[in-house]
Amino acid sequence: MEKQYAQALAQSLKNGTDEEKLISGFVTHLKEEGRMKLLPGILRELKSIQARSQKLAPHIEIASESEKKQALEEAKEAGIETDSVSINESLIRGWRARSGGISVDRSAKQALVDLYQKITN
């Protein structure tokens, strides 16, 4: 039951429903139905849904701020469009992007790995 409530709430929030009205109406509904004990489970499930959606959300990691513009353009060409960019200090040069099941790696490390594989094969 908690899962269904959490999914319905998440979908309503995604569709742009007023958060304050939605939550107050939802709590009122739970009180009227005598289901307030479900609230902690619903909250837990909502957090789980949010964590999954953040994990699948498009994101780009860059080595330095100076590479941001180029990374955004190249990622867009590769089919990953987002404004979510962070600096990953473990990258020497280049960028990595992910969106759902798609991952694009244009980092210096990956270029070296590709070069090594071409030489050894």
Which tens digits make up the pLDDT trace of 51-86?
888 878 899 999 999 999 999 999 999 888 898 899
Residue 14: predicted pLDDT: 84
**β-strand 85-87 against 59-62: which pairing, if any?**
parallel
What does 46-63 look like in DSSP terms, one character per residue?
A: HHHHHHHHHHHS-EEEES
**Quick one: 47 and 63 in the same domain?**
no
Q: Give the total number of structural domains in the chain.
A: 2
Residue matched to tokens 């739970």: 30
Total-model pTM? 0.59
Nearest CA to 43 out of 91, 85, 6 is that of 6
**Quick one: 49 and 97 in the same domain?**
no
**Quick one: 101 and 66 in the same domain?**
yes
**Quick one: 113 and 71 in the same domain?**
yes
Q: For Cα atoms 17, 21, 22, give the angle at the middle one, nearest 5 degrees.
A: 60
Which tens digits make up the pLDDT trace of 15-29?
888 889 998 999 999
Tokens encoding 52: 């999954």
Domain extent, residue 52, equals 2-56
| Other beta carbons less than 10 A from residue 14's beta carbon | 10
